[in-house]
Amino acid sequence: MTGADARQAVSQQHSAVAPLRLGDFAAALLQPDRDVPAGVDTRDLRRAERRFAVHRNNFVVNLVDTLAESFPVTQALVGPDFFRAMARERVLAAPPQSPVLTDYAIGFPDFIAGFPPAAAVPYLADVARIEALRIHAYHAADATPVADTAYRELFEAPERLAATRTALHPACGWFRARHAAYSIWRAHQGLQDMAEASLAGIDVARAEDVLIARPAFDVAATALPDGAVAWLKALRHGQPFAAAFEAAHAAGAEVDDGALFAILMRHGLVAAFDPTPEH
């Protein structure tokens, strides 16, 4: 065989390999019982299967590691073995749809809430939601909270205050937990080994409203008073303060208006005041 004939034979071998389709490749990554996808060079089938198995395992393990790093308290509550098995089920059932892994992590609490084995730890999804909101706050856009003088000016003009709307800081979020998620999360902070955290004295069945905020550099979490979730939700939806206070009182049995305002100031939740234009 001449050199030209050899080159032609090699070219024909490569041209016989079907084009690689990303959908088939992704499906094969997530289904260990599937064959090596079309488009992968399988002239040495056993070698191709071994190499693809390594790639498949690395793909899943890397995503499980990402979730473990993002949800340390959630992992501490159930232990590494259970957590990694749960995370692996999530990866196989719903792999990332984009290269932005922070978005993928933020959706993990919803999976936990619907994962039957996790029902034995009923507060697990709520705690995971705190960690997911912290991820969101950390990566959210920056904004400068309004100065205290802007609040004082509003307090000196009650009619203007009632009609004022707010632009809330993009790096804040909140939710109503069905369990004492904030107290449980807080019990794990500052420990070298989170497995040593004690939940003694925490009524885990007591519902808590939770705020996550990052006005500047540090992400903070805190429990919210009665009516605060409804109040913040109304403000975010463009309601003026008067309507937001009405929503808070309708939702909470003991609402302290001053405490609600203190939340805005203490946590830098307002990026801008936008009074209703006069007609």
Per-residue model confidence as pLDDT tens digits over 215-264: 999 999 999 999 999 999 999 999 999 999 999 999 977 899 999 999 99
Specify the amino acid at residue 271.
Answer: A
In this predicted structure, the answer to whether residue 71 has a pLDDT above a threshold of 80 is: yes
d(C-alpha 91, C-alpha 86), whole Å: 9
Closest by alpha carbon to 238, among 195, 201, 267, 276?
276
Residue 132, C-beta contacts closer than 8 angstroms, at least 6 positions apart:
70, 71, 105, 106, 107, 108, 109
Q: What are phi and psi of 226, to 5 degrees?
A: -55, 135
d(C-alpha 264, C-alpha 258), whole Å: 10
**Domain locations in the chain?**
1-121, 142-279
* Structure-token pair, residue 25: 């490749």
Stated pTM of the model = 0.80
Q: What is the pLDDT of residue 146?
A: 95
pLDDT, mean of residues 97-109: 85
Query: Model confidence over 173-225: pLDDT tens digits?
Result: 999 999 999 999 999 999 999 999 999 999 999 999 999 999 999 999 999 99
In this predicted structure, the answer to whether residue 56 has a pLDDT above a threshold of 90 is: no
Q: What is the pLDDT of residue 93?
A: 87
Q: Which range (8-12, 263-267, 269-273) has the least confidence?
A: 8-12
